[in-house]
Amino acid sequence: MKTLRFLVVLFSITLSLAACAPTATPTRTLTPVTVQLRWMHNAQFAGFYAAEQKGYYAAEGIAVQLREGGPEVDWQKAVLENAAQFGVHGADALIAARAENKPLRAIAIVYRLSPVVFVALTNSGITRPQDFASKVISTGSGTGRLVLRTMTARVGVRPDQYTEVPLVTDFTLFYARQIDVISGYITDQPITIRQAGHSVNLIYPDDYGIHFYADTLFATDELIAKNPDLVTRFLRATLKGWTYAVENPALVGALVQKYNSNADAALENAKMIASLPLINTGEDYIGWMKPEMWAGMEKTLREQGVLTQPLDVTQVYTVQFVKEIYGK
């Protein structure tokens, strides 16, 4: 009988321990997603870094790979051929791509104000686009040149009245006054030039009626139509990441360094701080976009002869996802 009682007690204890033991939780399978960035890793993409490093993508069931861009990277091809499911590029480039029947569509705007600015040394006396006549101007072949020509045309300065040279990353000629004006981003060149000890004048295209969205998140029509749930989850996590970056700009440098170990954290923090008014404009929501802005960009592109094909600009973007995320 004692043996029987012992076995009964032992069996009861075993059952109790089994009941208290933690149940194994199945590992959640994360959907792999690749994002094609428009440039090399820096604070320009802080919101994506935050969403990945703070676990916002994982919480939405997504594992994200952030793919560097650059001058040699075909940003359209990467997304069109599904090497990346999402991309980041300028809104004007997206309009031009759509006019060429590329099935790419914007889903949100990161930079709701353009960071493009023209930089001159303070002692040059150049303070406005009217002063560009007879000057040497360093600009890129894309948005920089488009904005330059639009801005100068609006103040009566013709392209043959100034000299364009390729965009420089080494400012030696600029400091030596062999280049008078540099086009760049308010989040980049002016910060570097000031850190080198030079005072600058900044000429903003927005002051002359040139309003462009800049960094724009986009996907293919096919992905949007076939997997809207993935688009929503990805965008929700991304916007949460950008909100974190806007609220914690002094932490962005450390986020960048996990992707670019050579990054200067203090410089990346400064870039993020400079970008705050571009991202969080004080109206609407982070990521939001307006039909009138898209219509205005199309008009500017037609004025400059960049856009000649027929185009329904409402097909270049969709507000479906930002409205769903923000409950609008």
Write the pLDDT tens digit of every residue in 48-103. Answer: 999 999 999 999 999 999 999 988 899 999 999 999 999 999 999 999 999 999 99
**Taking a C-beta distance cutoff of 8 angstroms, is the pair 45, 31 a contact?**
no
Which residue in 57, 111, 103, 100 sits closest to 79, CA to CA? 103
Q: How many residues does the chain have?
A: 328
Q: What is the DSSP letter of 24?
A: P
d(CA 301, CA 92): 8
Helix (H) or strand (E) holding 62: strand 62-67
Residue 2 pLDDT > 50 = no
Q: One fold for both 31-113+212-326 and 116-208?
A: yes
Q: pLDDT tens digit string along 232-289?
A: 999 999 999 999 999 999 999 999 999 999 999 999 999 999 999 999 998 899 999 9
Q: What is the DSSP letter of 180?
A: -
Which residue in 281, 252, 319, 282 sits closest to 51, CA to CA? 252
pLDDT number for residue 238: 98
CATH number of 31-113+212-326: 3.40.190.10
What average pLDDT is seen over the chain?
A: 91
Q: Give mean pLDDT, residues 321-326.
A: 97
pLDDT number for residue 27: 55
Cα 310 from chain centroid?
A: 27
d(CA 40, CA 241): 19
Q: What is the DSSP letter of 22?
A: P
In the chain, what are the domain boundaries? 31-113+212-326, 116-208
Q: What are phi and psi of 277, to 5 degrees?
A: -70, -15
d(CA 63, CA 69): 19
**Taking a C-beta distance cutoff of 8 angstroms, is the pair 311, 95 a contact?**
yes
Q: Which CATH number fits domain 116-208: 3.40.50.720, 3.40.190.10, 3.40.390.10, 3.40.50.970?
A: 3.40.190.10
Q: pLDDT tens digit string along 289-317?
A: 999 999 999 999 998 898 999 999 999 99
d(CA 242, CA 287): 9
pLDDT number for residue 6: 38
pLDDT number for residue 141: 77
Q: pLDDT tens digit string along 95-148?
A: 999 999 999 999 999 999 999 999 999 999 999 999 999 999 999 878 889 999
